[in-house]
Amino acid sequence: MLLMTLKPWLAISILFFFFISNVIGAFVGINIGTDVTNLPPASDVVALLKARQITHVRLFNADAHMLKALANTSIEVIIGVTNEEVLGIGESPSTAAAWVNRNVAAYMPGTNITAIAVGSEVLTAIPNAAPVLVPAMNYLQKALVASRLNNQVKVSTPQSMDVIAKAFPPSTATFNSSWNSTIFQILQFLRNTNSYYMLNAYPYYEYVHSDGIFPIEYALFQPLSAVKQIVDPNTLFHYVSMFDALVDATYNSIEALNFSDIPVVVTETGWPWAGGSNEPDATKENAETFNNNLIRRVSNDTGPPSQPKIPINTFIYEMFNEDKRPGPISERSWGVFSTNGSDVYTLGLGSSDSISDNSSTAFCVAKPGADENKLQDGINWACGQGRANCTAIQSGQPCYFPDTIQNHASYAYNDYYQRMHSLGGTCDFDGTATMTTQDPSSRTCKFTGSSNSGGGVFPPAAFGPIGATSQCSTIRSPVIAYTMVVFLALLILDVNAHFVF
Active site residues: 121, 268
Q: Where are the alpha helices (DSSP H) in 421-475?
A: none
Q: How many alpha carbons lie under 13 Å from residue 475 in its C-beta half-sphere? A: 11
How large is the angle between the packed helices 8-23 and 479-495, nearest 10 degrees?
150
From 382, 348, 355, select the one nearest 437 (Cα to Cα).
355
Element (H, E) at 295: helix 284-299
How large is the angle between the packed helices 405-420 and 372-383, nearest 10 degrees?
40
Question: Cα 217 vs. chain centroid, distance in angstroms?
Answer: 24
CB-count exposure of residue 76 (10 Å: 0-12, 13-18, 19+): middle
Amino acid found at 189: F
Polymer length of the chain: 501
Rg of the chain in Å (alpha carbons): 26
Amino acid found at 478: P
Inter-residue contact 6 to 492 (CB < 8 Å):
yes
Task: Report d(CA 249, CA 243) in Å as an integer.
Answer: 10
Q: Quote the DSSP letter at residue 127.
A: G
Task: Report d(CA 267, CA 115) in Å as an integer.
Answer: 11
Phi, psi dihedrals of residue 185, rounded to the nearest 5°: -65, -40
Other residues' Cβ atoms within 10 Å of the Cβ of residue 213: 10
From 426, 428, 409, 405, select the one nearest 366 (Cα to Cα).
409
Q: Which residues pair with 447 in a beta bridge?
A: none
Inter-residue contact 26 to 301 (CB < 8 Å):
yes
